[in-house]
Chain A
């Protein structure tokens, strides 16, 4: 039973109109593992995460969480399953109409029907865990900098102490120092919770810091997986080109001539 992967995808396909985005994804994530998925823009990384969460429905294939098939869950069962997940969105996706503390406590109040006072206490503790003091709790998300919004998003993702946490481009748009702070926080939070983490990123510094294992996605398929320490010696020309950020190589960008 302990060998059952936390998340397992088999032959997952997804297309939008004529555009094939996921073209037979096969991927397993072990319990407590931190997997980083790298790949260019538009290769299907975010779509894959959204398929696992049920925000998008795959056209075919199997997605299992803790060994249970999730592609045909009813809405109520899906809501229950989502209690296992936390997610940090690329733009933080904080609710503008609510103060910071209520953003962090949202899952506790609405999902678990916790009294507001108790949920606020937990929210303030979670904000402290990501390096934000209690004064921030009463601010509106619009009053925060990009880095602070990411921290609040992280606090919200971990507030419910989920078993699985997804990070969608956690360092995009941040300066290198703030990006490193966020990476450190991600590593600490995941370790403290003993959670399984899946991160998608273009940022190789982030990938090296967060990952136990790295997978590369290209044209809707996983083309390489390996330990984080092997990423510079993958022997895969696609991975080499991506890791070193070279224009020349097997990955050809679709650039139209002027």
Chain B
């Protein structure tokens, strides 16, 4: 009986958390699409997410593209299929690796920072202070982050796609001695708009999830420094897991019939 009670308790806690997250999400989205919007806050978050994440996302994409070209070569050369390397690099980067790796890197950089900032504001009563100054904290803190996440991640991923493909090109041409013109021709040959678009849709969804998790765990944090630390960990872990799950679901949605 004790065992069943424990299962029941865990299930109830899960339902409560899910309900809280759903309410938080609907409130955040409703504030994000209804004026007035805090433009200054939105721009600040866009710069934080988009501009300051560029180095880390760019480096990740560059080396991923380079490694992908090297690994594909060592595998494909066994079957005399070296000509497919450019195609493999561009499709892997645009469809999967660009959005997923950028999402994970931004979750670590931005999701953690959001949870820590909002969590500190919660435990130092700054969020209460916002309310007493007739400013809705959901509108001032959460909505700008959601909007910035949804708009900036696709731009970051588009940049990561270009840098990743360029990384593959560098290895292909300068290390594996491919002809530059034929490498570029192979890159374009099998690339379809849906490959890039699916990656950008994923990026927008991942941007939303990263901002949502950062805001949710930060907003609900309590208990001082330990609570803020816990919120930061929770936001990064849950955003990362959700990115991987949603990546599978969106891939299924775009490519299951092909």
Note all chain B residues with C-beta closer than 8 A to A75.
Answer: 136
Within 8 Å of chain B (Cβ to Cβ): is A146?
no
- Within 54-113 of A, Cβ neighbours of B (below 8 Å) are at 54-55, 75, 79-80, 82-83, 85-87, 89-91, 93-97, 106-107, 110-111
Chain B nearest CB: distance from A50 CB in Å?
7
- Within 102-158 of B, Cβ neighbours of A (below 8 Å) are at 117, 120-121, 124-126, 128-129, 131-136, 140
Looking at B38, B124, B125, B133, the one whose CB has the most chain A CB atoms below 10 A away is B133
A95 to B130, CA, bound (A): 9
A87 to B125, CA, bound (A): 11
Chain B minimum-CB-distance residue to A113? B36
Contact B124 A111 (CB under 8 A): no
Contact A110 B132 (CB under 8 A): no
Chain B nearest CB: distance from A251 CB in Å?
27
Main SS class of interface, B: helix
Chain B nearest CB: distance from A111 CB in Å?
4
Note all chain B residues with C-beta closer than 8 A to A94.
Answer: 126, 129
Contact A95 B125 (CB under 8 A): no
Contact A83 B136 (CB under 8 A): no
Within 8 Å of chain B (Cβ to Cβ): is A25?
no
Note all chain B residues with C-beta closer than 8 A to A91.
Answer: 124-125
A80 to B135, CA, bound (A): 10
Contact A82 B125 (CB under 8 A): no
Note all chain A residues with C-beta closer than 8 A to B38.
Answer: 110
Contact B128 A50 (CB under 8 A): yes
Chain B minimum-CB-distance residue to A168? B125
Contact B133 A55 (CB under 8 A): no
4 smallest beta-carbon distances between A and B, as pairs:
A111-B134, A93-B129, A93-B125, A107-B133
A192 to B111, CA, bound (A): 45
Contact A110 B128 (CB under 8 A): no
Other-chain residue from A79, A96, A106 in contact with B136 (beta carbon distance below 8 A): A79
Contact B128 A89 (CB under 8 A): yes
A87 to B135, CA, bound (A): 14
Contact A110 B133 (CB under 8 A): yes
A97 to B117, CA, bound (A): 10
Within 8 Å of chain B (Cβ to Cβ): is A8?
no
Chain B nearest CB: distance from A77 CB in Å?
11
Given contacts A93-B124, A93-B125, A110-B140, is CB(A87)–CB(B134) below 8 Å? no
Other-chain residue from B120, B124, B129 in contact with A87 (beta carbon distance below 8 A): B129
